[in-house]
Structure 1
Amino acid sequence: MKKILLLFLLITTLNFSKENVRAVSTSQFTTEMLLAIGAENQILGTAYLDDEILPELREKYNKIPVLSKGAPTKEQFYSLNPNFLTGWKSIATPKNLGTVEELKENGVEVVFTKSQDSSKIEDIYSDILMFGDIFNLKDNAKNVVKNMKEDINKVKEKNKNKNNIKVFAYDSQESAPFVVGGNGIGNTMIEIAGGENIFKDTNFSFGIGTWEKVLDENPEAIIVIDYGSVSYENKIKYLKNNSPISQLEAVKKNKFIRIPLSYISPGIKVSKGIEIISNGLREEKK
């Protein structure tokens, strides 16, 4: 009896994995991963768009319903009859779509990417390959990973004999800066791009830093993450006119590198994000 039950579970899992996925994606990075591997026909809806979808994925994306700018309601979610959920981990909480246990009880398989809690680009590759397996698009997923590796290796080769440039990566906030820390993919991207993150010794991916630390470190370039209700231009205006670091050389000389949030999030854009940072750092060095 146990063998029969085990076989049944295996068969239903395989059927789910290969043919019957009805997915909702609640982060831009998972949405772009799924679109990049060609899973658009199995995506019922999306949410949490940080900025523009990659141009080559836009046509696919525009055919899929957007449930919400932020977290969709349970009514919006279940109206689609999904059986698969991925995206930000925060979506599986009582105030949003319910706990993982509740979702599973309602017939929804929940898969969160390992890379959103990791500083390793290899974990992004693993997530893409995982989705390739779940959506029966293994070859497509392998090609996406292959192209990302090639692009990143080109940047590594370009920077291998160059000195690292000290960098402050500013996300937002004024009383104390919200920054890219040392325990996430952003720090790894900065290192590959030829930078040294002044908050590399912190244990967070994004978190609260201090203006005193920025002043003490005197970075040569400032990465400014573009997203949210405060525009990139207004962030620059604050740093130049009202911030405690307005007199730093990097600020006075406009040594700013703009990067949209989705290019420094754990998804397929990291290779392009690394290139943006690398080009910006080398430009500042001239």
Structure 2
Amino acid sequence: MRVTALALLLALALGACGPRSAPAPAHPNAVPGVTVNVCGVPTAYPKEPKRAVTYDVGITEMFLFLGLADRLVGYAGIPDGKEIAPEFAPALARLPKLSTQGMNLETLVNAGTDFVFGGWSYGFRQGGVTPELLARHGIASYVLTESCIHVAARSEVRLEDAFDDMRHIGAIFRSSAQADQQVAVLAQGLATLRREMAGVTHRPRVFVYDSGDKLPTTSGRYGMPRAMLHEAGADNLFDDIASNWPQGNWEDVVTRDPEWIVIVDYGHPSAEGKRHFLMRKPELAGVSAIRHQRFFVMTYAEATPGPRNVATTQRLAAALHPERRITVDPPALGTP
């Protein structure tokens, strides 16, 4: 190692003393590198990816919403119970499903993948496929911002987190202008909602029920539903849990007495099945949301980061605050 270092220093010194050659001209098709923030770390992407793989529904919908279907060589993490928006179904039908649950490194390598868009608990997991492992095989990656709470401290979760993700993906794939245009539509919808929700005084307590019998999986302080509830003029029942999708407990649900219950609809049982389970659970009989049967249903893709978050938040605000005239204007999700 010392010999190599000395040789390098000598070469640099000789180069400094000798004649300076003009820098090589840039290749006419060369694409400048970009650097974006990934979980608080500036990360460089010197090359434009050509063969991408996405994991999970919302992440895949982000990619398609940005008009990047032609860069995909496959997708993963979308079982039959997690439905993609109908506008995106034709594009997805033309692509191979590389796995239903979890990422497989061998499959990614065999597909010639050069980029993976996933997240912690959205395909990436310690002891399994990670961005570091992919990098060792020459595969770049991007980590969903909402999921960064598993590896880095965060101050809050925002609807704008998904906007940032889409802008970053646009930059990485050298299509920033198109990404900015698409995100601007979502940002305008959020701005309208904030104007219409200004001055809200009563903020209903809301329990997000994802799944679970003995213990409920719910949204914590850093889950996307928490940001959606905040913008819709409500408080998340399990805001005291510093995670995105943690397990809560039924005792706290009873004690905290939610006024509304948001059901995340995917898999089995269906949303109606989950509703029946909650209605029949004896200890919940006195809970306000159960007594008044106040339920709101959102799909998995609407509850996780993606292009559907803003329109779903508008619907949620309209349900929680019927006294206000809330604009519900979902964006066109087809390829731009």
After TM superposition, the score normalised by the length of structure 1 is 0.86
- The question of whether the paired residues in 2 share the 8 Å contact of 1:170 and 1:178 is answered with yes
- The question of whether the paired residues in 2 share the 8 Å contact of 1:182 and 1:203 is answered with yes
Residue 153 of structure 1 is matched in structure 2 by 191
User: Which is richer in helix?
Assistant: 1
- Show the 5 A alignment for 1:40-55: 40-49=69-78, 51-55=82-86
Q: Percent identity?
A: 25
- The question of whether the paired residues in 2 share the 8 Å contact of 1:17 and 1:135 is answered with no
Kindly indicate whether residue 178 of structure 2 is the aligned counterpart of residue 140 of structure 1. Answer: yes
The CA deviation at 1:186 is 1.6
Kindly indicate whether residue 155 of structure 2 is the aligned counterpart of residue 104 of structure 1. Answer: no
CA distance in 2, matches of 1:131, 1:41: 14
- The question of whether the paired residues in 1 share the 8 Å contact of 2:51 and 2:71 is answered with yes
CA distance in 2, matches of 1:52, 1:105: 33
Report which stretch shifted further, 258-267 or 109-118.
Answer: 109-118
1:154-182, CA deviations, whole angstroms, 9 ceiling, x for partnerless residues? 22222223332221111121223222112
Residue 61 of structure 1 is matched in structure 2 by 92
Q: What amino acid is aligned across from residue 96 of structure 2 in structure 1?
A: P
Say if 1:279 and 1:237 are closer, same or farther in 2 by CA, change over 3 A: same
CA distance in 1, matches of 2:60, 2:53: 9
Kindly indicate whether residue 169 of structure 2 is the aligned counterpart of residue 131 of structure 1. Answer: yes
Say if 1:115 and 1:176 are closer, same or farther in 2 by CA, change over 3 A: closer
Unpaired stretches in structure 2, ≥5 consecutive residues: 1-10, 16-22, 35-44, 149-155, 325-336
The CA deviation at 1:54 is 2.1
1:27 equivalent among 56, 72, 96? 56
Structure with higher Rg: it is 2
2:306 equivalent among 260, 267, 278? 267
- The question of whether the paired residues in 1 share the 8 Å contact of 2:157 and 2:223 is answered with yes
1:65-111, CA deviations, whole angstroms, 9 ceiling, x for partnerless residues? 22122124334322211111111334345764x44333222221122
Say if 1:69 and 1:243 are closer, same or farther in 2 by CA, change over 3 A: farther
1:113 equivalent among 131, 134, 144? 144
1:91-147, CA deviations, whole angstroms, 9 ceiling, x for partnerless residues? 345764x44333222221122122333612232222111111111211211012111
Paired residue secondary structure (1:199): coil
The CA deviation at 1:283 is 4.8
CA distance in 1, matches of 2:139, 2:214: 41
CA distance in 1, matches of 2:64, 2:111: 19
Kindly indicate whether residue 277 of structure 2 is the aligned counterpart of residue 248 of structure 1. Answer: no
Residue 216 of structure 2 is matched in structure 1 by 177
Say if 1:17 and 1:66 are closer, same or farther in 2 by CA, change over 3 A: farther
Q: What amino acid is aligned across from residue 68 of structure 1 in structure 2?
A: S
RMSD, aligned CA = 2.9
The CA deviation at 1:39 is 0.7
- Show the 5 A alignment for 1:170-249: 170-249=209-288
Paired residue secondary structure (1:176): coil
- The question of whether the paired residues in 2 share the 8 Å contact of 1:255 and 1:284 is answered with no
Say if 1:215 and 1:284 are closer, same or farther in 2 by CA, change over 3 A: farther
Residue 76 of structure 1 is matched in structure 2 by 107
Paired residue secondary structure (1:59): helix
Paired residue secondary structure (1:201): coil
CA distance in 1, matches of 2:146, 2:220: 15
Task: Report how many aligned residue pairs link the two structures.
Answer: 281
Paired residue secondary structure (1:239): helix
The CA deviation at 1:223 is 0.6
CA distance in 2, matches of 1:235, 1:185: 20
After TM superposition, the score normalised by the length of structure 2 is 0.74
The CA deviation at 1:227 is 1.7
Paired residue secondary structure (2:218): strand
CA distance in 1, matches of 2:48, 2:248: 46
Say if 1:219 and 1:24 are closer, same or farther in 2 by CA, change over 3 A: same
CA distance in 2, matches of 1:116, 1:145: 20
CA distance in 1, matches of 2:126, 2:205: 41
